[in-house]
Amino acid sequence: MTFLEFKNKMFDLACFNIYQIYAWQPDFDRNNLTRWTKKGYLVRLRQGYFAFSEYKNKPDYSLYFANRIYRPSYISLHTALAFYGIIPEAVVQISSVTSLKTASFANDFGEYSYNNVKENLMFGYGLKLMADNRTIQFAVPEKALLDLLYLYPFYNNEQELEELRLDEDYLQDDLSKDLLMDYCAKFQNKALDGRIRLLFKTYGL
């Protein structure tokens, strides 16, 4: 099989795994993937997952691949908070929440981290439209904030919360406090309840 034949069949998937290839070509020679990756035609995203190198020049695909290479997962935490403009700094690592075990991967598209929560806490996210009419599973702002305070328990004093430098205008005008409290109740976690009360006190909410 030539790379051109392979590309014509698989390119629109953007990223793909070895099982998708075998479903199409049961006798596919896996060594082709190693050879094409060495030539720079493909990027290895993680074991068994690949993308075409052309997607490095397209916007949003580093976020899109976060959903695809470890499922179920959704983008949350610092990545989502930076996306919404709630925290000021750009975030290098792409952070997600998953019901699978905690994991991390690094590839040419970025550094990916996945934080484990129980399956009943996999809520509060939706689909965001990106380039090429693809969609990305993204936490809503309220859930991204709760995930952060739940998974990073050191945010338990005013100094740590102040150092997050949350956008006070966003918190006052755009954050749904009702939704935040509804979601918080679903965690059934007294420590998280306390951190939310402290957050409200620190930022005058």
Q: Which of 21, 41, 57 is the last residue of a domain?
A: 57
191 and 174 in a single domain? The answer is yes
pLDDT at 91 over 80: no
- Same domain, yes or no: 20 and 66: no
- Tell me what pLDDT residue 89 has: 78
pLDDT tens, 49-84? 999 999 999 989 999 999 999 999 999 999 999 999
Residues 25 and 87 in one domain: no
Identify the helix (H) or strand (E) that includes residue 168.
Answer: helix 168-173
Identify the domain containing residue 42 by its residue range.
3-57
**What's the pLDDT score for residue 83?**
93
Query: Which pLDDT value is given to residue 205?
Result: 87
Say how far apart CA 127 and CA 140 lie, in whole Å.
Answer: 10
Co-location of 83 and 95 in the same domain: yes
Integer Cα distance of 196 and 171 in angstroms: 13
52 plus 65 within the same structural domain: no
Same domain for 14 and 33? yes
Residue 101 CB contacts under 8 Å (≥ 6 apart), including other chains: 116
State the chain's mean pLDDT as an integer. 96
Instruction: State the DSSP code for 15.
Output: E
* Mean pLDDT confidence for 94-118: 97
Same domain, 15 and 90: no
**Per-residue pLDDT at 92:** 85
pLDDT grade for 28, boundaries at 50, 70 and 90: very high
Arithmetic mean of pLDDT, 174-181: 97
Angstrom CA distances, 165 to 81, 169, 179, 189, 205, stand at: 11, 11, 21, 24, 15
Residues 184, 89 share a domain: yes
Q: Please determine, for residue 27, whether its predicted confidence score (pLDDT) is greater than 80.
A: yes
pLDDT over 90 at 147, yes or no: yes
CA–CA distance, 78 with 139 (Å, rounded to integer): 11
Collapse the DSSP code of 62 into the 3-class scheme (helix H, G, I; strand E, B; otherwise coil) and give the result: helix
Residues linked to residue 50 through DSSP beta bridges, in sequence order: 16, 44
Q: What is the pLDDT, as a whole number, of residue 55?
A: 96
* Residue 21 to residue 10: CA distance in whole angstroms: 8
Domain boundary, last residue among 42, 57, 72: 57
- Asked whether residue 17 falls in the same domain as residue 42, the answer is yes
CA distance 25 to 1: 10
Three-class secondary structure of residue 18 per DSSP: helix
Number of domains in the chain: 2
Instruction: Dump pLDDT digits (tens) for 149-171.
Output: 999 999 999 999 999 999 999 99
Do both 48 and 67 map to the same domain? no
pLDDT at 181 over 80: yes
Q: Rounded to 5 degrees, what angle do the CA atoms 70, 71, 72 make?
A: 140
Domain limit, last residue, from 13, 41, 57: 57
Tell me the two tokens of residue 170. Answer: 């966003």
Does 50 share its domain with 87?
Answer: no
Same structural domain for residues 86 and 141? Answer: yes
Question: Residue 74 has what pLDDT?
Answer: 98
Give bridge partners of residue 111 from the DSSP assignment: 93, 106
